[in-house]
Amino acid sequence: MAAMVKRGSEAKSLRVLGRLRLSIASDESTSIERQREVITSWAESNGHNVIGWAEDVDVSGSIDPFDTPHLGDWLNNRADQFDVVACWKLDRLSRNSIRLNALFGWCLDHDKTVYSTSEAIDLGTGVGRLIAYVIGFLAEGELDAMRERQLSSRRKLREAARWPGGKPPYGYRTVDNPDGYGKVLAIDPTAAKVVRRIVDAVLDGVPLGRIAEELNREGVVSPADHYRICNGGEDTGSPWRTWPMRHLLLSPTLVGHAHLGGVTVRDDQGNPVLMAKHPLVTADERELIASALHRAEGAPRERRAPALLGEIARCWYCESPLTTNRQTKTLAGGKTREYGYYRCPQDCGAMVPIATADESFERALLDSLGDEDVTERVWVPGDDHQAALREAVAALEELSDSAGRMTSRTAKDLLQRQLSALDARIAELELLPSREGGYENRSTGETYRQAWERTATSPEARRDMLKRIGVDFRLGIHDGQLLADVVTLGDQLTVQET
């Protein structure tokens, strides 16, 4: 190691900025404390003064030094406060040779130097610069090798149905592999209850935005905070958001599949590799969830609390769903009053005051069906082999789409084996007798009157209940008289009020 950094032929005491970086705070041999100790010892032995530390933890070596949180701040905003950047090794600055060379150029342009304590490299000399360029190139090669090893390792672990590490998907937790080494996924009872609630709400037609609002209002811990708490951290109050919720519902991990980049990993027979033996939802439910989310993509967002019968009641004449029209009028004394109407978008003349219609509906519903059992539409899965057939067909389509991207013979041979196995499985399943899944009406154990009273304080809950039980309510006006007709799915009883 050189006794002192030099500029030209004159030795002098320098202001040292210590560079500390670690991608993952777990390696004792290169810990932040060890790096600080080495740099401090070098500075003191050469009569230099450490004026500050550019410490970046959990920062990858692939990031541009000028973009790192702390070193970037020193380089961009406080360059006049130091003379030399001292590091334990050059890869603490960057593992990208182009970015490392750009930093070297910046140092030369700003009359700075770089010193590596473990490699005895002084950028202030021509030989030091030459060695630094070579080491920077080697560091970049090592970064590429590390990435390849990590990807290969994670791919092998997924193919073996073992968890490769990191944050488990919400709804699962990692447990010891009962069949050998490593970890696998298992149901997290606490999170699974929340996932089940979200799934049921989506299948009932509740928008993701409203689900997120309800979870936040009730103080349900978000996925990010749930993971922190499970690892001994604290609840930061991070909110539920619709986009992560949508990602959760569409991820292959919802049904326990291992995946890479959202694509299910499959074995030689084309079957999905199961990272969790007991998935959060069934394959049938996943199809229904995807269908419900797809339908909701084009639906307008709810901007205010909807009226009870908005888009549930239909026009008496043309049977179009009635929309809600609200108007605010200023009264004497500056007071305001809101008037609301259900109206037909086809201008059939249905313009019914909201309050009048809601009262009429409540009276007609409870008078005619108050003591009847409420029925809900429930999805009844088909035969197990029907779900397996749909999954096999989906796998065949997924693998067929990737055929054009295969370039190596090994990949093509593997793909052909998977396609042949799936083709044979589909042919076998098609020969079995089938019973398709479908909806049927089942009693909830409550009467309409009980359900109505239970949801008295929540208009949204009443609206959701009406949508679930499939109430059909027609409204109209004829010669100044209200026309109202109530029909429910599964009941032939009709009540008219004129």
| Bridge partners of residue 321, in order along the sequence | 314
Q: Report how far residue 39's alpha carbon sits from residue 35's, in angstroms, rounded to the nearest whole number.
A: 6
Q: Within 10 A of 193 (CB to CB), how many other CB atoms are there?
A: 12
Asked if 86 and 43 touch (Cβ cutoff 8 Å), the reply is yes
- Where residue 29 falls (left for φ over 0; alpha for ψ -120 to 50; beta otherwise) is alpha
Determine the pLDDT at residue 435: 65
Determine the pLDDT at residue 39: 93
Determine the pLDDT at residue 166: 66
Determine the pLDDT at residue 178: 67
Determine the pLDDT at residue 75: 93
Asked if 105 and 57 touch (Cβ cutoff 8 Å), the reply is no
Intra-chain end-to-end CA distance of the chain, in Å? 100
Determine the pLDDT at residue 82: 95
| Topology of the domain comprising 6-146 | Rossmann fold (3.40.50)
Residues in the chain where the model's pLDDT stays below 70 = 1-11, 24-30, 120-166, 178-182, 258-271, 273-274, 276, 295-306, 349-350, 376-387, 402-406, 411, 433-439, 468-470, 486-498
- Residues with Cβ within 8 Å of 173's Cβ and at least 6 positions away in sequence, in order, are 185, 186, 187, 188, 191, 230
Return the structure tokens found at 152.
């290969």
The residue with tokens 């909201």 is: 354
Determine the pLDDT at residue 160: 47
Determine the pLDDT at residue 20: 92
- ∠ at Cα 212 (207, 217), nearest 5°? 130
Determine the pLDDT at residue 30: 60
| Topology of the domain comprising 161-303 | Hect, E3 ligase catalytic domain fold (3.90.1750)
- Which pairs count as long-range contacts for 471-475, CB under 8 Å and 24+ apart, including other chains? 471/312, 471/365, 472/314, 473/309, 473/312, 473/313, 473/314, 473/361, 474/313, 474/314, 474/315, 474/316, 474/319, 475/309, 475/313, 475/314, 475/315, 475/316, 475/322, 475/342, 475/350, 475/352, 475/357
Coil, helix or strand at residue 495: strand
